[in-house]
Amino acid sequence: MTFADFIVTNAPALLVAIPLFAAFLCPVMGKISSTVRNCWVMGMMLITAAIAFILAYRVFATGPVLYVFGAAAANLAIPLDSGGIPIRIIFTVDAMSAFMEIICAIVGLTVLLYSLSSESRNSSLEGYYTLFFLMITGVLGMVSTGDLFNFFVFLEILSLASAGMIAYRIDGGIAVEAALKYFILSTLGAIFILFAIGIFYGEYNALNIAMIAQRMQYTMLDKIALVLIIAALAMKCGAVPLHFWTPDAYSMAPASVTAFLVVASQASLYGLFRVLFTMYNVTMNCVTVGWIIIILGVLSMVVGVTMAIPQKDIKRLMAYHAVSQTGYMLLGVGVGLAVLGNAALTSAFGSMAMEGGIFHIFNHAMYKGLLFLTAGVIVYRIGTRDLNKMGGLGHTMKYTMIFFIIGALAIAGIPPLNGFASKQMIYESVYLFNPLLAIIAMVVSILTLASFVKVFHSVFMGPQLPEYAGVKEAPLPMLIGMGILAAICILFGLFPQPVVDMLVAPAVHALADQSGYIASVLGGA
Amino acid sequence: MSRIVRTAADLLYPTILIFGLYIIAHGHLTPGGGFQGGAVIATGGALVIVAYSYKEVTGWLTKNVLMGQEVIGLVGFIGVGLLAFAFGQVFFFNYLNASGSLFGIPVPYGINAGELNTGGFVPLMNFAVGIEVWGGLTLVLIYMLSGLEKEVC
Amino acid sequence: MLWNLPLITVVVLTLIGLVTVLLKKNIIKILLGINILESAVNLFLVSLGYREGGVAPIFTLAPSELMVLPTPQALVLTSIVIGVATSALVLSFAMVLKKKYGTVDINEIRRLHG
């Protein structure tokens, strides 16, 4: 077959194999010279992003793509002599998976471009790029897989690599303390997920998500497994009440890594939605579980923004805002889950709520990544993270100031940026569900704007301080990286309707449609 | 360490090495395989580091050698999987199974005495993982020891 | 009652592991609590595959054809390897923290708060 056919057919496997291959060869490239390593790293990331976009285009055009590892053909999910049971590891890439892969590819490419110049002052960079590619493998594997135990393995790859990267610049020990907190909580969560996987295997003798979804009866053991999985994955994505690793880890990691940790948290959020919508769907009590997710979301929103206001460390403040924005996603999708059993309410406001929540995942990765990268530029040029010591940087760092303004307006939900589009969808649909929740969401949005006005004033406004007189603008690769994210923020804000129609609505439809998922894996049986 | 301990380590290390390689090589017939065999050999490495002092061992077993061993193992594993693309099949398809070449005899079903030449590319992957784990665990040991002020003796 | 003994052991080990992780103050003891929890989960997974009267699922010189399920054994092998990597990473963190802070007591390692 031709080269294009080869890439298109094998894209799900290449999506995991190429970053792994790149990660394994990074130490060797680093020993040769640093230019060779930079070229290798950039080239491999471009290839990975290209394959992710090709795969996403194919999925949005023709429907879910299956890839069975080690079978005679790529879409032979059920071997002919097995009696109707899928026995191999299957990568099921449907529209929601493709949506998350696009996010990972864009943010990964931007972060790599940024870190080529922000890390150039440091030594021993082979470990940095190896761990970075392992993080990319982890995220891409988590969102593409259709097998529960494979999800657990990629989750562990992601959390080990993230813990290593958070502690990367030891910083007198503080970064290692943050990484230790993150890693112990993450390991506890993973052990609970493994318990739940054991319960599912013992009950249904299957590890494939479609197989468990087909055989699911909502017994008492399934309720226990649901509680374990919700607790573990809500901890991994930074929802209250288990959010206290988020400010430490996000503030101590290097800035480029923090922008990618946001994507990692959202991959765990994807895992939560996949389990709730595809495995359980209407067999569970949708209203109760939906209300639990809504309450987690409201708590995250309120606690995140109120803890963010008195912060003095710029990255810690942004990390609390990340917790708050995760609350918006949980609120939107929780409302969609609560009305899932009711077809009339779903078509009235349920699917709009879910579209708002899932569109917010994309927007949050974009503007939160942009904000963390601008914070990284400030720390790179000045050397301190304390807001009290900064001031008057707008005189010299003009581009950084513009990017910061775009990011701050986007997070506060001001038109015409992309935050407004997704927040508007969430407000409208949640108001029809329960007016009090929408009012709380709007108040949190106003407090977010207030907090970022404070940060903007104390960093960029004011007279130029004498100790910062020689501070230059950010280097060019960093500006290009931030520019890509800012351009997407503006573009998605000006034209949200085509984005929702082409990207978000198919993703929501694929997520909520359990029988379609089962049919695509098990072949309509 | 005293002469007795060093001599005992000299005699035991090849035995441990052979035992670990046996576990790796027979991974498709008996319990064992890549990780288990590699961990056994790395334990033998720990025995040598305890018997001879840490400084002596790192004199001739540098970190670069172990890192190279780790990379060879990892690239071997992924290379064996990617080689399936050269045969026109999907990733990780067992192209050596029942093919008549290396490890190519078809697996006899049912209770048998164990035929070593079967299994496709599973023994190759066992070797790759075994070499990688051996290098990786010994490297972890040496890095941790180099982080202390005093040496293990 | 005797057939439930592995599952009772799983519950006891989980409780011991959780109590250790939540109440102990030394990082090394917390790591050992995580290892006990890992052992509990691994025992749970392996005991799911048991079939009465079955032997080990290896065809080489097997006594009979009735065997226990091999799939959970593969899952447990992966989980053990992940446990080894976890332990190595937390021990490295403990070494760096001891050098920089002078203690491995988690009540003292608290420079980040607020």
CATH numbers and ranges of domains, chain C: 2-101 (1.10.287.3510)
Mutate to test the interface with C, among B134, B140, B142, B150 (most CBs of C within 10 A): B140
Contact A477, A119 (CB under 8 A): no
Distance, in Å, from the CA atom of A223 to the CA atom of A324, rounded to the nearest integer, reads 28
Evaluated on CA atoms A411, A413, A419, A422, the torsion sign reads positive
Contact C30, C108 (CB under 8 A): no
Q: Cα angle vertex A235, ends A231, A238, to 5°?
A: 140
Mutate to test the interface with B, among C59, C80, C91 (most CBs of B within 10 A): C59
Give the H/E segment covering residue A65.
Answer: strand A65-68
Is omega for the bond preceding C70 within 30 degrees of 0, making it cis? no
Which pLDDT belongs to residue A476? 85
Q: How confident is the model at residue B87 (pLDDT cuts 50, 70, 90)?
A: confident
| DSSP symbol at B87 | G
Average pLDDT over residues A504-508: 89
Mean pLDDT, rounded, of chain B: 86
Distance, in Å, from the CA atom of A81 to the CA atom of A426, rounded to the nearest integer, reads 48
Mean pLDDT, rounded, of chain A: 88
Per the document, the length of chain C is 114
Radius of gyration of chain B (CA): 19
Contact A358, A333 (CB under 8 A): yes
* Residue-wise pLDDT tens digits, A404-435: 999 999 988 888 888 888 898 899 998 988 89
* One-letter amino acid for residue A279 of the chain: M
CA of B120 vs chain A CAs: smallest distance (Å): 12
Structural domain of A392:
285-494
- Partnered with residue A208 across adjacent β-strands are A147
Which pLDDT belongs to residue B153? 34
Q: Which chain B positions have a beta carbon within 8 Å of A31's beta carbon?
A: 64
Q: Do residue B111 and residue C61 have CB atoms under 8 angstroms apart? A: yes
* Residue-wise pLDDT tens digits, A359-369: 999 999 999 99
| DSSP symbol at A244 | T
- 3 state DSSP class of B110: coil
Tokens read off for A7: 């890439």
Give residue limits of the domains in chain B: 3-146
Asked if the C-beta of A311 comes within 8 angstroms of chain C's C-beta atoms, the answer is yes
Q: Do residue C44 and residue A248 have CB atoms under 8 angstroms apart? A: no
pLDDT at A455 over 80: yes
Evaluated on CA atoms A403, A404, A405, A410, the torsion sign reads positive
Which pLDDT belongs to residue A264? 92
Tokens read off for A388: 């009290």
Q: How confident is the model at residue A5 (pLDDT cuts 50, 70, 90)?
A: confident
CA of B23 vs chain A CAs: smallest distance (Å): 25
Residues 6+ apart with CB under 8 A from B78: A17, A20, A21, A24
CA of A265 vs chain C CAs: smallest distance (Å): 20
- 3 state DSSP class of A240: coil
Count how many domains chain A has.
Answer: 1
Quick check: is A397 in a domain? Answer: yes
Which pLDDT belongs to residue A21? 92
In order of A367, A402, A437, B136, the CA distances from C85 in angstroms are 34, 43, 43, 11
DSSP C7-35: HHHHHHHHHHHHHHHHH--BHHHHHHHHH
Q: Which of A57-66, A283-292, B110-119 has the lowest mean pLDDT?
A: B110-119
Prediction pTM value: 0.94
* Residue-wise pLDDT tens digits, A335-387: 988 888 787 887 888 888 889 999 999 999 999 999 999 988 888 888 788 88
Distance, in Å, from the CA atom of C83 to the CA atom of A32, rounded to the nearest integer, reads 33
Distance, in Å, from the CA atom of A490 to the CA atom of B27, rounded to the nearest integer, reads 56
Is omega for the bond preceding A241 within 30 degrees of 0, making it cis? yes
Quick check: is A276 in a domain? Answer: no
Q: How confident is the model at residue B151 (pLDDT cuts 50, 70, 90)?
A: very low
- 3 state DSSP class of B93: coil
pLDDT at A80 over 80: no
* Residue-wise pLDDT tens digits, A262-302: 999 999 999 999 999 988 888 888 888 999 999 999 999 99
Quick check: is A219 in a domain? Answer: no
Residues 6+ apart with CB under 8 A from A264: A135, A138, A139, A158, A162
Q: How many CB atoms lie within 10 A of CB A62?
A: 8
Average pLDDT over residues A83-112: 89
pLDDT at A118 over 70: yes
- 3 state DSSP class of A300: helix
* One-letter amino acid for residue A447 of the chain: L
Q: Do residue A179 and residue C93 have CB atoms under 8 angstroms apart? A: yes
Q: How confident is the model at residue A1 (pLDDT cuts 50, 70, 90)?
A: low
Which pLDDT belongs to residue C75? 93
Contact A408, A456 (CB under 8 A): yes
* One-letter amino acid for residue A12 of the chain: P
Name the H helices within chain C. Answer: 5-23, 27-47, 71-101
Quick check: is A448 in a domain? Answer: yes
C-alpha closest to that of A404 among A326, A314, A470, A477 = A314
Tokens read off for A360: 């917010």
Which pLDDT belongs to residue C114? 60
Tokens read off for A89: 């590891």
Contact C21, A188 (CB under 8 A): yes
Q: Do residue B31 and residue C58 have CB atoms under 8 angstroms apart? A: yes
Asked if the C-beta of B110 comes within 8 angstroms of chain C's C-beta atoms, the answer is yes
Residues 6+ apart with CB under 8 A from A188: A232, A235, C21, C34, C37
Asked if the C-beta of A183 comes within 8 angstroms of chain C's C-beta atoms, the answer is yes
Average pLDDT over residues B14-28: 93
Q: Do residue C59 and residue B31 have CB atoms under 8 angstroms apart? A: no
pLDDT at A191 over 70: yes
Q: Which chain B positions have a beta carbon within 8 Å of C95's beta carbon?
A: 144, 147-148
Q: Do residue A21 and residue B89 have CB atoms under 8 angstroms apart? A: no
- Which has the higher per-residue pLDDT, A213 or B149? A213
Distance, in Å, from the CA atom of A372 to the CA atom of A499, rounded to the nearest integer, reads 24
Quick check: is A234 in a domain? Answer: no
The position carrying tokens 């295997």 is A201
ipTM of the complex: 0.94
Q: Do residue A69 and residue B92 have CB atoms under 8 angstroms apart? A: yes
* Residue-wise pLDDT tens digits, A141-186: 999 998 999 999 999 999 999 999 998 887 778 888 899 999 999 9
Distance, in Å, from the CA atom of A498 to the CA atom of A491, rounded to the nearest integer, reads 11
Which pLDDT belongs to residue A106? 93
Q: Which of A16-20, A33-37, A64-68, B104-108 has the lowest mean pLDDT?
A: B104-108
Dihedral, CA of residue A217, residue A221, residue A222 and residue A223, to nearest 10: 120
* Residue-wise pLDDT tens digits, C16-60: 999 999 999 999 999 999 999 999 999 999 999 888 888 888 888
* Residue-wise pLDDT tens digits, A232-269: 999 998 888 888 899 989 988 888 899 999 999 999 99
Which pLDDT belongs to residue C42? 95
Closest partner residue to B90 (CB to CB) among A24, A28, A69 is A69
